[in-house]
């Protein structure tokens, strides 16, 4: 152990734990535990995760219907509900009933009547087809083992021309690199609009094309055949 400092040992343990956690999260549903939800409401966490910047990058406007996958207690969804206003709606989908309880309690405390929680797995959630303007996953995509299915659900529930917004911040143990994010979203049928931020902290925005031409196999393709 000679030459090993406590800082080096701590770093090695952190990296090892991160690798193990990422491996497990690809096989099992490992969201942030509900009992840690209070930490997501901490003003310091809100500042570190740049909640306001993320909302600006998503580009919400009044009157929109938004669905967030994995909203937790509402760090992002509650201020989003304030932006879309009473003419819009903010729906949170979380696999943990306790998180949805916290979300709805916080919404009521904030006087927000346009927030609704849904307890469901992101890969199997039954949302009305083509009924939302924006779908959001903020630090949540990597927590979902069946990511392709979750993004397909997002595609299905969005209106033609609707937007998918995915935010990732390192060193979140579930961090998904932007190249991987773009490949997953495009495989689900989305077109990339822009990615704002840098390689370690970014928001990637996509759009559901207004029209698709079905192929003979039934798989949706771009009208130009790509």
Condensed to tens digits (0 to 9), the pLDDT of residues 127-150 reads 999 999 999 999 999 999 999 999
Residue 110: inside a domain: yes
Q: What is the pLDDT of residue 15?
A: 47
- Domain of 62 in residue numbering reads as 31-221
Secondary structure letter of residue 210 according to DSSP: S
Residue 157: inside a domain: yes
Distance, in Å, from the CA atom of 208 to the CA atom of 68, rounded to the nearest integer, reads: 16
Secondary structure letter of residue 35 according to DSSP: G
CATH number at residue 170: 3.40.50.150
Q: Burial letters for 40-60: b for 16+ Cβ neighbours within 10 Å, e otherwise?
A: beeeeeeeebbbeebbebbbb
Residue 19: inside a domain: no
Q: What is the pLDDT of residue 174?
A: 86
Q: What is the pLDDT of residue 50?
A: 78
Residue 22: inside a domain: no
The domain total for the chain is: 1
Q: What is the pLDDT of residue 43?
A: 58
Residues of the chain with pLDDT under 50: 1-2, 11, 14-15, 17, 19-25, 35, 37-39, 46-47, 213-226
Check if the beta carbon of residue 201 is closer than 8 Å to that of residue 50.
yes
Q: What is the pLDDT of residue 35?
A: 45
């Amino acid at each position: 152990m000679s030459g090993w400092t406590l800082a080096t040992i701590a770093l090695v343990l952190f990296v090892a734990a991160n690798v193990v956690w990422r491996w497990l999260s690809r096989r099992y549903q490992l969201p942030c535990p509900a009992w840690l939800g209070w930490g997501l409401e901490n003003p310091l966490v809100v500042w570190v995760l740049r909640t306001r910047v993320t909302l600006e990058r998503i580009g919400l406007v009044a009157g929109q219907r938004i669905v967030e996958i994995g909203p937790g207690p509402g760090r992002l969804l509650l201020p989003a509900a304030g932006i879309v206003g009473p003419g819009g709606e903010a729906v949170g989908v979380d696999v943990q009933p306790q998180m949805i309880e916290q979300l709805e309690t916080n919404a009521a405390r904030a006087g927000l009547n346009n927030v609704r929680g849904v307890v469901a797995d992101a890969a199997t959630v039954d949302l009305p087809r083509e009924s939302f303007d924006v779908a959001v996953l903020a630090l949540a995509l990597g927590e979902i083992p069946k990511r392709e299915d979750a993004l397909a659900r997002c595609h299905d529930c969005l209106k033609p021309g609707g937007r998918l917004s995915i935010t990732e911040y390192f060193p979140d143990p579930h961090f998904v690199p932007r190249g991987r994010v773009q490949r997953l979203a495009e495989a689900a049928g989305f077109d990339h609009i822009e990615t704002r931020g840098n390689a370690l902290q970014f928001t990637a925005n996509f759009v559901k094309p207004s029209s698709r031409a079905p192929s003979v196999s039934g798989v949706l393709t771009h009208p130009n055949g790509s």
